[in-house]
Chains A and B, each alone.
Chain A
Amino acid sequence: MMNATQRLVLAVLISLEISLTKSVTLNLILVAGALSILLVRRQSLKRLCLYLAVAIIPVLGSFWSFYLYGSGTAAENLHFGMVMGSRVLVFIFIGAWLTLGMTPYVLLASLRQNLKMSATFTYGILGALNFLPRFRQAFTAIQAAGMMRGEVLRWWQPTLYFKSLVHAIKWSKNLAMAMTSHGFQEGANRSAYRTYPMPVSGWVVMAAMMAGIQVVLFLARY
């Protein structure tokens, strides 16, 4: 129905909408909606539990801080605490919906085609994602190099980050050379092996969603 770009646009619109409104009802409806899509699309239970585990501290944290330390009446504070707590939950589940069955490659490629995002940026990000596993190895080697010199480098010490940066700069230069050597030129025209069209149905769904949200906001009392 919606392609990756449209999904991102909708996710951003919903996030903006709930950031500017204070309806617990709307937030809970959105969470329930996202959750049911995740269940219907057979998201693994382990993943869902992970999302909940990630959510629990920020949700309770935002709720308690506004409930206990808010400046309004007890009822107002309870309401605002609920709004903030459920808002965090919406962010997490909208994020989960956005990434459901989507790879960074598809998202970035669609953004590049649909929104004319720069190819250099797109492939730079993809390259950086490929570096992540190597980064962990480099980190261990840097710490070992320190210990061989009688220095224990802790995670808060700048040396560790400086050295990591040296590695990152070297890798990025190598990657840039490899890309150039394979014919990539900044700003040059490229063909598209796959296309990521934005179907009309996607816009219709998006409009319906936003209209629905307005209706809920109009009707909901809490």
Chain B
Amino acid sequence: MALDAKKLTVAYRQSPIIEDLDFTLNPSDLTLLMGPSGSGKSTLLKTLAGLYPQYGGQVSGAVEIAGTDVSTMPAHDRARQIALLFQNPDDQFAMPTVREEFIFALENLELNPAEIDERINKALAKVGLSDFIDRAFVTLSGGELQKVALAEVLALGAKYLLLDEPFAAVDSQSRAELQVLLQQLSQEGYGILVSDHDPAGYFDKIKSFYQVKNTNLYQVNRQEWQQYDYQGQIKVLAEVGDADAAFDMNNLRVQNGDRLVLNQDILKVSRGLITLLTGPNGVGKSSVLKTLAKLHGYEGSLTYRDQEVSAWKKREYYHEIGLVFQNAADQFINITVQEELDQVQKSSHQKRYWSDDRLDQWVTALHLNGLGDRSVYTLSGGQQKKLQLLLMMVMAPTVLFLDEPLAGLDEQSVGVALDLIQSCQKALQLTILVVSHQTRDLVEIVDQHLRYENTTIANQVEVNL
């Protein structure tokens, strides 16, 4: 018995995300799936879990367990076989507390109260969270949420566990604990497929390793795994002279829920440069970016142009700084592509630079031409990311924060996007701070690198690729 994908094709609006895939997950497998954000990992996992086509996408071919198609199984039968852990831990619980959530799930299987209690206790003990039974989800950290999510699917009895970037909001210690737990589960006979864009900590535990590339999966031979272990590969940036500071941090503390994610002594973010901020998953990069963008509270001191960020009036602050959101759709305020382009051209801080010709040129270079009447919400993920970046580059505020600006872009688009960022920055002397996992691409254009580890950020000339 195994989980089998046969000639599987998944498409959104006619454009294929996964094409003609044959893949098998056996019991006791621990398989890692790597690929950049937006390469189709989530789509594949949701299809394998039987959620697509019910919740989107056009699917052809089949996903089967012991010859039965998972997409046609009733949900309560499927849950006993296969489970999906979601990327965003907040999205996977319908109930407010751990106990209520487990009860909800186990009632779906028509279990009696005694058995429900027994399964809850066993599953929570397995992930080491027996004391958490009456905790409310809002009080749990990212790592704890994912452990509870794992316990929940174990309680349901699933034999195949699919995990979709489960560590995106998890600190490094919990990440390591969860990876050990996954290894133990696979040794007990669970078939586990985990997708991640960070290979750290996997290679001594997994049995096989696949790359998502060009709408298909490619198995990587064990001998070549080392190449993907980027830990060793680095690039050294040229030292930059003493630049003025755009932002000054002084004893800055940032919390994410109950967890202290940043405890920064003294640090400046240079003005007029492109700075790259890197760090392990879940370390708190997004929280820091949100703090800088005045969307997250802080203690201590964080100043922009010698004035405390919390003291800036929102309107004036956002006149100076802009954030390119991780989720592109958050950027849009109009409906069609043309309306969006017209709006930014009208409101741009650099109207002289952004002539009609220049705008047309970039629209074409980014392959966004001819989409003027399309609703921004029906564009593909990659088109949305490109449009979003262009809009904020046209706005051209003095400071721009970019949160994963290259996520989901194909190789050619990555090149154009980097050109766009670099040429605007040079011409308009913008201050840019980028958070991205795609360091190998970005390292070509950045001037400075900040490394963020264990609640502190430091200048570092070496960039891990």
Docked complex Cα distance between A127 and B333 (Å): 27
B397 in the interface (beta carbon within 8 A):
yes
Residue in chain B with minimal CB distance to A143: B314
0/1 interface trace, chain B 367-411, chain A, CB 8 Å (1 if under): 000000000010000000000000110010100000000000000
Residue in chain A with minimal CB distance to B290: A141
0/1 interface trace, chain B 295-332, chain A, CB 8 Å (1 if under): 10000000000000000001100110111010001110
Cβ B100 vs Cβ A179 within 8 A: no
Report the minimal beta-carbon distance from A123 to chain B, rounded to whole angstroms: 6
Residues of A within 8 A of B49 (CB): 181
Residues of B within 8 A of A19 (CB): none
B110 in the interface (beta carbon within 8 A):
yes
- Using a CB-CB cutoff of 8 Å, which residues 18-45 of chain A contact chain B? none
0/1 interface trace, chain A 128-151, chain B, CB 8 Å (1 if under): 011001100000111111111111
Cβ A178 vs Cβ B86 within 8 A: yes
Given known pairs A144-B295, A145-B330, A148-B321, the reply for A177 and B46 (CB within 8 Å) is yes
Contact partner of A185 (CB less than 8 A), chosen from B108, B314, B391, B395, is: B108
Docked complex Cα distance between A179 and B94 (Å): 7
Given known pairs A133-B138, A145-B331, A183-B79, the reply for A151 and B104 (CB within 8 Å) is no
Docked complex Cα distance between A123 and B96 (Å): 11
- Interface segment, B10-18, B111-119, B199-207? B111-119
Cβ B107 vs Cβ A193 within 8 A: yes
A222 in the interface (beta carbon within 8 A):
no
Residues of B within 8 A of A134 (CB): 90
- Interface segment, B26-34, B70-78, B274-282? B70-78
Contact partner of B295 (CB less than 8 A), chosen from A126, A140, A177, is: A140
Residue in chain B with minimal CB distance to A152: B315
Cβ A185 vs Cβ B75 within 8 A: yes
Cβ B110 vs Cβ A178 within 8 A: no
Cβ B391 vs Cβ A149 within 8 A: yes
Given known pairs A123-B104, A126-B94, the reply for A147 and B318 (CB within 8 Å) is yes
Of the listed residues A133, A146, A148, A166, the one surrounded by the most CB atoms of chain B closer than 10 A to its CB is A148
Docked complex Cα distance between A191 and B109 (Å): 7
Residues of A within 8 A of B56 (CB): 173
Cβ A177 vs Cβ B347 within 8 A: no
Cβ A176 vs Cβ B111 within 8 A: no
Cβ A178 vs Cβ B295 within 8 A: no
Docked complex Cα distance between A133 and B347 (Å): 32
Total A-B residue pairs with C-beta atoms closer than 8 Å?
147
Residues of A within 8 A of B116 (CB): 191, 193
Docked complex Cα distance between A142 and B314 (Å): 13
Docked complex Cα distance between A131 and B307 (Å): 35
0/1 interface trace, chain A 182-198, chain B, CB 8 Å (1 if under): 11110011111110000
Cβ B295 vs Cβ A149 within 8 A: no
Given known pairs A148-B395, A174-B88, the reply for A181 and B79 (CB within 8 Å) is yes
Contact partner of A182 (CB less than 8 A), chosen from B90, B152, B391, is: B152
Cβ A189 vs Cβ B110 within 8 A: yes
Residue in chain B with minimal CB distance to A176: B55
Contact partner of B347 (CB less than 8 A), chosen from A151, A178, A188, is: A151
Residues of B within 8 A of A126 (CB): 94-96
Cβ A175 vs Cβ B94 within 8 A: yes
Docked complex Cα distance between A103 and B90 (Å): 21
Docked complex Cα distance between A163 and B391 (Å): 17
Residues of A within 8 A of B314 (CB): 143-144, 147
A153 in the interface (beta carbon within 8 A):
yes
Cβ B111 vs Cβ A191 within 8 A: yes
Report the minimal beta-carbon distance from B386 to chain A, rounded to whole angstroms: 17
Given known pairs A147-B314, A148-B318, the reply for A163 and B91 (CB within 8 Å) is no
Residues of A within 8 A of B330 (CB): 141-142, 145
A118 in the interface (beta carbon within 8 A):
no
Docked complex Cα distance between A168 and B88 (Å): 15
Docked complex Cα distance between A181 and B116 (Å): 18
Residues of A within 8 A of B106 (CB): 191, 193
Report the minimal beta-carbon distance from B349 to chain A, rounded to whole angstroms: 8
Residues of B within 8 A of A161 (CB): none
Given known pairs A144-B293, A145-B325, A148-B322, the reply for A178 and B94 (CB within 8 Å) is yes
Residues of A within 8 A of B94 (CB): 123, 126-127, 130, 175, 178-179, 182, 184
Residues of A within 8 A of B295 (CB): 140-141, 144
Report the minimal beta-carbon distance from B69 to chain A, rounded to whole angstroms: 16
Residue in chain B with minimal CB distance to A148: B322
A121 in the interface (beta carbon within 8 A):
no
Given known pairs A133-B138, A145-B325, A175-B91, the reply for A183 and B331 (CB within 8 Å) is no
A159 in the interface (beta carbon within 8 A):
yes
Residues of B within 8 A of A173 (CB): 55-56
Cβ A180 vs Cβ B51 within 8 A: yes
Residues of A within 8 A of B315 (CB): 147, 152
Report the minimal beta-carbon distance from A111 to chain B, rounded to whole angstroms: 16
Residues of A within 8 A of B51 (CB): 177, 180-181
Cβ B344 vs Cβ A149 within 8 A: yes
A171 in the interface (beta carbon within 8 A):
yes
Residues of A within 8 A of B107 (CB): 190-193
Cβ B152 vs Cβ A177 within 8 A: no
Contact partner of A171 (CB less than 8 A), chosen from B83, B91, B100, is: B91
Residue in chain A with minimal CB distance to B110: A191
Docked complex Cα distance between A153 and B314 (Å): 12
Cβ B113 vs Cβ A130 within 8 A: no
Cβ B331 vs Cβ A178 within 8 A: no
Docked complex Cα distance between A127 and B54 (Å): 20
Q: A126-B95, A181-B83, A190-B110 are in contact. List 20 more A-B contacts (CB 8 A).
A: A126-B94, A130-B93, A134-B90, A141-B325, A149-B333, A151-B333, A153-B333, A174-B86, A174-B91, A176-B55, A178-B86, A178-B91, A182-B153, A183-B76, A183-B79, A184-B94, A185-B75, A185-B76, A188-B108, A193-B116
Closest 10 CB pairs of A and B: A183-B79, A150-B347, A183-B108, A147-B318, A185-B75, A174-B91, A182-B105, A178-B92, A183-B76, A148-B322
Q: Which residues from chain B sit less than 8 Å from chain A, CB to CB?
A: 46, 49, 51, 54-56, 74-76, 78-80, 83-84, 86, 88, 90-96, 100, 103-113, 116, 138, 152-153, 156, 293-295, 314-315, 318-319, 321-323, 325, 329-331, 333-334, 343-344, 347, 377, 391-392, 395, 397
